[in-house]
Structure 1
Amino acid sequence: MRETLFHLERSQPATLQAQIREVLTRAIAAGRLQPGEPVPSTRAMAGQLGVSRNTVTLAYQALVSEGFLMARERSGYFVDAQAVDGLSTGPQATEPRPQSAEAGIDWRARMVEHCADDRLVFRPADWQRHPFPFVYGQVDAQVFPIAEWRDCVRQAMGRRWLDAWTLDRYSEDDALLTEEIARRILPRRGISASPSQVLVTLGAQNALYLIAALLVGRNTPVAMEEPGYPDLRLMLARRTDALRQVSVDHDGVMVGAALEGASILFCTPSHHYPTTVTMSLERRRALLDAARRESLVIVEDDYEFEANYIGAPLPALKSLDEDGRVIYVGSFSKSLMPGLRLGFIAADEALIAELRALRRLMLRHPPGNNQRAAALFLANGHFDVLVRRIHRTYRERWQVMSEALERHLPGWARSPGFGGSSYWLTGAEGLDAAQLARRALDEGVVIEPGEPFFAQAGAGRRNFRLGFSSIPADRIPEGIARLRAACDAL
């Protein structure tokens, strides 16, 4: 609080003493000054406000007599705890200054676009409080090797790696991280790339935004999957008037008339988002053939690349690409942690150079300390151990959920083909999944209704998603049983 800038309005009719008293009482009422906390000294406050020290002293003495402050000999002035007990503290206690209608700004009128949207995936902010959180994309702390990550962070913060995270590298990434991605991560997906063909991003979503900003204009014909990633649809709809939806069947995104004339396709071949369908090898080859004929660029979002634990994983679409037209997007959000916000793009070097220049204009580069800690986590082999642990844990939960769904909701579930961390369900005729989600929440069960994943209004009302990355296996059966009870109650 000593560093907080106070200011006075010299034009106000109130005296300087009265204004100083008001400033401090507002700070106490709002909770910015806590009980027992010292207020700025009379000398410091006088210097900051440009008034005499006597003026401040008289204001402080008045606040002492009013019970807001208490004076301690040779120590200064402190907030009186008894005064705070009688106040309504917190941000709501600070009344905003009155503002005339003429002085107000109509911010919506000034905005060139509006990004808020109410068709987002349902997930209560306090989902962790509920005993059966079938939410997607979250990390189970019991699976994550916290001690090993802490050790890598400690190493990254040491003097040896000081330059890696203290310097402004402008548009450059951590060389150790791009080397590890090119040498350790991409080969697992059958992709051969040099570090110069890799760009680190703030997660997969940042990668998709960069690509869209660089390659999608107002008249660019763009295709994406239906159903698909809601945030990507919102992102693309704000950039082009020629967005089209491409249906998905049991083999993945369908190759047909919807792709004719398209310039770029965004797709999720390994685990279709959200149905978990894995694109077959035959469909991948057909898609690449069509892309060659149509001069189509493909953005492959391999957001869950480490969660292939059922059978042999198919190679990434980019590994089959002979023309360099596939842009590969990866993310560490489903393995390390979503809060880390680290992902990457692997593509032709010329494209990476332009994406790097664009990223520099937006945020320069992701935080160096996070990049170096992740690089050490990879280099020390901890990521390999984590992936094996994820495989064991997710496979067990996948099996337990499969059995529970077959018992309580037979025929509703689409089982993941090559792993992943969720199930996609289609309920009985007439089911409203949004209504079910609200009813299930009363039973402590969190599910994600499917309607936001569809572009067509009203589609997906019977669908919902059940994630199992953040719920222990022993809770799954009861959670599904309660979900069944919620269905029956409707």
Structure 2
Amino acid sequence: MPFHLFHLEAGSSRTLQQQIRSQLTAAILNGNIPVDMALPSSRKLSELLGVSRNTVIRVYELMLSENVIISRERSGYYINPEYRVQAVLPRSEASGNDKVHWQRFLHQKPSEQRNIVKQSHWQRYSYPFVYGQFDPQSFPVQQWRECCRDSVTEAAVGNWASDQLMDDPMLIEHIQSHILPRRGIWAKPEQILITVGAQHAIYLVSQLVLRPGDTFGIEDPCYVDVRNIAAARPANVVPIPLDNEGLIVDERLSDCDCIYVTPSHQFPTTVTMTLERRKQLLLKAAEDDFLIIEDDYEAEANFTGTPCPALKSIDHAGRVVYIGSFSKTLAPGLRLGYMVADEALIKEAHALRRLMLRQAPMNNQRTVALFIARGYYDALINRQSLIYKERWHLMQNVLARHLPNSTNPPTFGGSSYWIEGPVELDSRKLSELARADSILIEPGEVYYAHAPLLNCFKLGYSSIASDRIESGIDRLAQLINRHWGGS
């Protein structure tokens, strides 16, 4: 606690004792002083504040008599824990026109937007069908630790510790030569920008290409944060429905200035956009002159055969902004992604990123670059593919037994299933009932823009052990049968 920053006014109508007591009390009520931390001695505090020791002694004696503080023999003065609980004094002495009226200043309220709510401490649940989390048991801790250690050697530190604003050249090189070619994408270094996750890339693009009032087309259902990013711009958000071939390409796209798609593995339904539909979308974009943001969020999680090429790989006009991430392969907390686009857009995105956070953490960039260069990344992908494929088949068989006709297996792979329960089912209520039974699922209504289907929900399988999948689905099916009369 920086007691020396207490502001004492020599010409104030209040005495020095009153001022010191008032500021000490405010610090206690605000939680600025830990309960188990001894207050400075009277001699020390008097030196810090530049007042006489007797002044501080009288303040302490008064606060002691009022039970604000307590004395511990041979230890000093401490906050009375019961005082903070019982006190009803206001946190601020400001009143009337002195108070900030935040309604005047807050022109946006992102906190009021509908968002996905992730359950804290999901590891404590017996059946965590959560999406977007990683399995700590399959993560190569030793190899990651090795790369972290080598990224902070004296020679390596010189590459990333300075404020240079440029991305790690080793990581850019490996994305260019190793990651992107797997999706059929060939790019120059100046067409690649590192971001703090895929969501950061989406935000950058929306800020640069959307003016207030522009039309932004999104899939319906869709990734929630994309809808909220566009709404905050604010853009005119137009939901575009899906069928079993992906986003429907029709006249609803004609007025769009930009659209967002997840063609390889639609979020959240898992539908894969057919090659023919992708070609139709590119033709429509050329005819009506709009841009396409392609989020290839689970590009590496394919284990079902030859993957359909990325939309960007068949885009010859430069209309597609490709976004990738290391979150699903490595860990979501790493917050490292990238975008690939025409140099003109990357140049401006680089400048805008500088205004926001200058650059993605360079030590993380170098660690990931080393992780890829030493073959650990490929080994992790191969290991995850085997694990996910096993769980994918297991989920398919178990769902067919316990929740028949509720889903179609994802054709691309990925790490989740989209479930459609009985028409009368409310997935929000099901989520509450399931959580009480140590089962975590994600209700589907939040993914819809206007008319949500309450009977849909998402089951992730990246974070649940294979031997717990069947019993978890069985218990979930029992809840559905008990409350909504069957699947």
Task: Please report the TM-score for the alignment, with normalisation by the length of structure 2.
Answer: 0.90
C-alpha distance in 1 between matches for 2:60 and 2:136: 50
Classify 1:454/1:160 alpha carbon distance in 2 versus 1 (closer, same or farther; 3 Å). same
The answer to whether the Cα contact below 8 Å between 2:3 and 2:45 also exists between their aligned partners in 1 is no
Write the deviation string for residues 452-479 of structure 1: whole angstroms up to 9, x where unpaired: 111123x221111111111111111111
What SS does the corresponding residue of 1:265 show, helix, strand or coil? Answer: strand
Write the deviation string for residues 253-293 of structure 1: whole angstroms up to 9, x where unpaired: 11111122322111001110100111111111222222222
Q: What's the CA shift for 1:70?
A: 4.7
User: Which amino acid in 1 is paired with 2:134?
Assistant: V
Q: What's the CA shift for 1:485?
A: 1.6
Task: Give runs of aligned pairs for residues 270-285 of structure 1, distance below 5 A.
Answer: 270-285=264-279
Q: What's the CA shift for 1:51?
A: 2.0
Paired residues, number: 481
Q: Which residue of 2 aligns with 1:342?
A: 336
Q: What's the CA shift for 1:431?
A: 1.3
Is 1:360 aligned with 2:360? no
Q: Which residue of 1 aligns with 2:91?
A: 96
Q: Which residue of 1 aligns with 2:106?
A: 111
Q: What's the CA shift for 1:380?
A: 1.9
Q: Which residue of 1 aligns with 2:5?
A: 5
Q: Which residue of 1 aligns with 2:446?
A: 452
Q: What's the CA shift for 1:59?
A: 4.2
Match of 1:156 among 151, 154, 161: 151
Match of 2:179 among 172, 182, 185: 185
Q: Which residue of 1 aligns with 2:457?
A: 464
Q: Which residue of 2 aligns with 1:380?
A: 374
Q: Which residue of 1 aligns with 2:473?
A: 480
Classify 1:51/1:164 alpha carbon distance in 2 versus 1 (closer, same or farther; 3 Å). farther
Q: What's the CA shift for 1:414?
A: 2.5
Q: What's the CA shift for 1:480?
A: 0.8
Q: What's the CA shift for 1:219?
A: 3.2
Task: Give runs of aligned pairs for residues 320-339 of structure 1, distance below 5 A.
Answer: 320-339=314-333
C-alpha distance in 1 between matches for 2:113 and 2:433: 20
Percent sequence identity over matched residues?
Answer: 43
C-alpha distance in 2 between matches for 1:147 and 1:241: 46
Task: Please report the TM-score for the alignment, with normalisation by the length of structure 1.
Answer: 0.90
Q: What's the CA shift for 1:169?
A: 2.0
C-alpha distance in 2 between matches for 1:413 and 1:101: 59
User: Which amino acid in 2 is paired with 1:51?
Assistant: V
What SS does the corresponding residue of 1:224 show, helix, strand or coil? Answer: strand
Classify 1:260/1:2 alpha carbon distance in 2 versus 1 (closer, same or farther; 3 Å). closer
Q: Which residue of 2 aligns with 1:49?
A: 49
Q: Which residue of 2 aligns with 1:202?
A: 196
Classify 1:162/1:79 alpha carbon distance in 2 versus 1 (closer, same or farther; 3 Å). farther
Q: What's the CA shift for 1:422?
A: 0.5
The answer to whether the Cα contact below 8 Å between 1:64 and 1:70 also exists between their aligned partners in 2 is no
Classify 1:26/1:383 alpha carbon distance in 2 versus 1 (closer, same or farther; 3 Å). same
C-alpha distance in 2 between matches for 1:185 and 1:173: 16
C-alpha distance in 1 between matches for 2:10 and 2:50: 11
Is 1:369 aligned with 2:363? yes
Q: What's the CA shift for 1:150?
A: 1.8
Classify 1:465/1:178 alpha carbon distance in 2 versus 1 (closer, same or farther; 3 Å). same
C-alpha distance in 1 between matches for 2:239 and 2:300: 27
- Relative to structure 2, which stretch is displaced further, 322-331 or 151-160? 151-160
User: Which amino acid in 2 is paired with 1:388?
Assistant: N
The answer to whether the Cα contact below 8 Å between 1:138 and 1:470 also exists between their aligned partners in 2 is yes
C-alpha distance in 1 between matches for 2:81 and 2:252: 66
C-alpha distance in 1 between matches for 2:82 and 2:103: 39
Write the deviation string for residues 396-453 of structure 1: whole angstroms up to 9, x where unpaired: 1111111111111100122111101110011112111111111111111111111111
C-alpha distance in 1 between matches for 2:84 and 2:470: 46
| Superposition CA RMSD, Å | 2.7
Classify 1:330/1:79 alpha carbon distance in 2 versus 1 (closer, same or farther; 3 Å). farther
Q: Which residue of 1 aligns with 2:387?
A: 393
C-alpha distance in 2 between matches for 1:183 and 1:318: 16
The answer to whether the Cα contact below 8 Å between 1:270 and 1:278 also exists between their aligned partners in 2 is yes
Q: What's the CA shift for 1:103?
A: 3.1
Classify 1:78/1:153 alpha carbon distance in 2 versus 1 (closer, same or farther; 3 Å). farther
What SS does the corresponding residue of 1:414 show, helix, strand or coil? Answer: coil
Write the deviation string for residues 304-354 of structure 1: whole angstroms up to 9, x where unpaired: 111111111111111111111111000111111111111110111121011
Match of 1:139 among 134, 138, 142: 134
Classify 1:9/1:142 alpha carbon distance in 2 versus 1 (closer, same or farther; 3 Å). farther
User: Which amino acid in 2 is paired with 1:178?
Assistant: I
